[in-house]
Amino acid sequence: MLKRLLQVFAAPAAQSDPVSEERIPLAAAVLLLEVAHTDGEFHQTEQDLLGSLLKSHFSVSDDALDDLLELAHEARANSHDLHQFTREINKAFSQPEKEQIIEAVWQLVYADGRLDHYEEALMRQLGVLIGLSHRQLIEAKLKVSRS
């Protein structure tokens, strides 16, 4: 598993390379997992929503979902920070797409029905790392919390 993870992140990000195409969903999955675990609990509703978000926002197939989540758990366990994952997001997505990603992450935050202060702190950090202003971060939060 670690060998596969190293292949994904060690490979140069060429557009036609299938390994590089896995980098974005994997980076997103790691970020989503990090947020889901921030409050010390990983609820079934969060797990279900995580799969749904990966399928809808990153076109992950049902067949690939389990493998992606396994890689993401491994990457999360072996990473020291979120920079390598947010860097992939920054390279691949426009500002409006980043706003959509942060909305998806806010959906996961609110999946258990509450906002933990650790989750809020991590969201502020993620906003900065992917280049969103405080205003954009709050607008995404409000959009998700109202729905």
Average pLDDT over residues 95-100: 89
For position 138, what pLDDT does the model report? 95
Residue 19 structure tokens: 């390994």
In tens, the pLDDT along 26-35 reads 988 999 999 9
97 — phi, psi (to 5°)? -70, -35
- For the stretch 63-89, what's the b/e string if a residue is b when 16 or more beta carbons lie within 10 angstroms of its beta carbon? eebeebbebbebbbeeeeebeebbebb
For position 34, what pLDDT does the model report? 92
In tens, the pLDDT along 100-115 reads 889 999 999 998 888 8
Pick the CATH number of 2-146 from 3.40.50.300, 1.10.1060.10, 3.30.70.20, 1.10.3680.10: 1.10.3680.10
Residue 123 structure tokens: 């969201």
Alpha helices in 11-82 (DSSP H): 18-21, 23-37, 44-58, 62-78
pTM, two decimals, is 0.79
In tens, the pLDDT along 1-25 reads 444 544 444 445 444 444 446 788 8
For position 21, what pLDDT does the model report? 62
